[in-house]
Amino acid sequence: MSGIIDKLKKADENNRQLSAYRPLPPETLKSLREYYRVGLTYTSNALEGNSLTESETKVVIEDGLTIEGKPLRDHFEAVGHAKAYDYLYQVTEKECMAEEDILTLHRLFYQQIDADHAGQYRQVRVYISGSRYAVTAASKIPAEIRKLIKWYNESEKNLHPIELAATLHQRFVFIHPFIDGNGRVARLLMNFALLRNGYTIAIIPAILRHEYIYSLETAHTRPEVFVDFIADRVIATQLDLLRLMREDNDTVNDTVNDTVKVDVAGLSKTEQTILQAISLHPDYTYEKLASYCKLSRPTIARTIKTLQSREFIRRIGSDKTGHWEIIRKEGEV
């Protein structure tokens, strides 16, 4: 278990380094989303046997072209996954996860493949090849999904984002609510949890398919094995993104507007951005701060909690009618 803790600390440190580059310019943010739109669609489909290469996947979902000699279903999987990926960014801004979010992700992915079963729980018994464990009986799926959603919404503030994301993926796959597409929806949900809590998309390349399946199977009795596997994939994806960021921007502007007259040493650029926004708009709610700073609401909430714990800000009055106040520190100008 100590190994996992070390990896979670490493992921947190990587995340702090990535935060120094935020908020990203709209053009950069758009290109990154497109980068992972192709990367996640390609890898997630490849894990399930889709024959499209990464460059072919890009052509299919961005140019709407078909690849000669490749199955039509493989094209449908690419287009459907890309649509589900786009939807992912919409639901990360919501207050909490809902059952409809899961059904919509599956419907978007599966619509062109099998419209009758898209976004519908399976009504038949299924078996997972290579697994010694049974999945949830069809009659119990709705109740088990609602239990899963309740667990997620209650656990989001208590578990580390990587443990939360890995466990959500694991529990969803063990239910196996759909006729097909469960693995892809599970990986989308995993990334939903990561994005909502300030982390980047995590990629599982097809070359790791054996390790991925093994860790999921082992998680029936030792769930920490799958958490450890996902932690490795989060760190690897973070390092890839950090490399891209450093190539584009060798130095990070750590300055903050003079309207914030506090010692900002040690704050990330995200923390500085939110601190500056609060100094200019102390009456802003989380939603207004998220819109102003171009950050997600969970990121705003998490960062404000950090700023409060470090005594940079405090809340005066109620949540609805109160305002934020910057705590003046000794030695400020």
**Active-site residue set:** 176
152 dihedral zone (left: phi>0; alpha: psi -120 to 50; beta): alpha
19 within 8 A of 270, measured Cβ to Cβ: yes
Distance between CA atoms of 251 and 255, rounded to whole angstroms?
12
Closest CA to 302 of 11, 19, 101, 26: 19
Cis peptide before 25 (omega within 30 of 0): no
- CA dihedral of residues 138, 141, 142, 145 (deg, nearest 10): -170
Q: Collapsing DSSP states into helix, strand and coil, what is residue 323?
A: strand
Q: Which whole-number Å values give the CA distances from 329 to 195, 232, 270, 272, 281, in the listed order?
A: 33, 40, 20, 15, 20
Residues 44/184, Cβ–Cβ less than 8 Å:
yes
Question: One-letter amino acid identity for 108?
Answer: L
Q: What is the DSSP string of 31-97?
A: HHHHHHHHHHHHHHHHHTT----HHHHHIIIII----TTS-HHHHHHHHHHHHHHHHHHHHTTSSS-
Which 8-state DSSP code applies to residue 258? T
**68 vs 50, 52, 56, 72, 208, CA distance in Å?**
15, 11, 10, 10, 28
Q: How far is CA 32 from the centre of its chain?
A: 14
Q: How far apart are CA 302 and CA 48, in angstroms?
A: 35
- Do residues 197 and 114 make contact, with C-beta atoms less than 8 angstroms apart? no
